[in-house]
């Protein structure tokens, strides 16, 4: 699913629409497994005389920690998107309150990327966009296929755009 057509200008089309890489979910997934084990272990340790209430307390604490450690990071990942059109870079994020930033491509001076060893193994990286404005550098973390997106942005900014590209 890309950006809704109503949010695009006349003659504007989406070149790339991605969400942050799923590597952001590795930590919450590990915490979910550990939390499930801890809740089960905690419920088993409750003495028989405190059985129903004590187990409910452990489960409620587990649910609160689940929302904080697992659900919130998942929702942040799910709602963070990067869209590149033939005219602008659009970032959207937010669970309850949405935040968006649109940057016209004409204001971009340079595009580069960084990839750590882990990023290279997982196929993602950080895209650094340098502008002439006050915010001078915009950093997009955990961009999937960062090299491909770097090439697409470079073509849009500095060279000819190939029509045989796939999304």
Whether residue 58 is contained in a domain is answered as yes
Q: How far apart are CA 112 and CA 70, in angstroms?
A: 32
SS (H, E, C) 69-120: HHHHHHHHHHHCEEEEECCEEEEEECCCCCEEEEEEHHHEEEEEEECCHHHH
Whether residue 164 is contained in a domain is answered as no
Whether residue 104 is contained in a domain is answered as yes
Model confidence, pTM: 0.81
- What range defines the domain where residue 57 resides? 26-76
Instruction: Give 10-residue mean pLDDT values along the chain (167 residues).
Output: 77 93 96 97 94 95 97 95 94 93 91 95 95 82 95 87 47
Both 40 and 90 in one domain: the answer is no
Number of domains composing the chain: 2
């Amino acid at each position: 699913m890309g950006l809704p057509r109503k949010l695009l200008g006349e003659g504007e089309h989406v070149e790339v629409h991605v969400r942050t890489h799923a590597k952001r979910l590795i930590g919450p997934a590990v915490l979910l497994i550990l939390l499930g084990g801890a809740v089960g272990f905690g419920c088993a340790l409750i003495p028989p005389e405190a059985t129903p209430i004590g187990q409910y307390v452990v489960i409620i604490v587990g649910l609160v920690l689940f929302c904080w450690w697992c659900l919130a990071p998942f929702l942040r990942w799910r709602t963070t998107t990067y869209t590149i059109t033939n005219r602008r870079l659009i970032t959207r994020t937010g669970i309850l309150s949405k935040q968006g930033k649109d940057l016209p491509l004409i204001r971009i001076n340079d595009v580069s990327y960084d990839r750590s060893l882990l990023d290279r193994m997982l196929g993602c990286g950080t895209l650094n966009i340098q502008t002439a404005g006050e915010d001078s550098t915009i950093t997009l973390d955990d961009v999937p296929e960062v090299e491909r997106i770097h090439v697409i942005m470079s073509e849009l900014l500095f060279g000819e755009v190939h029509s045989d590209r796939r999304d």
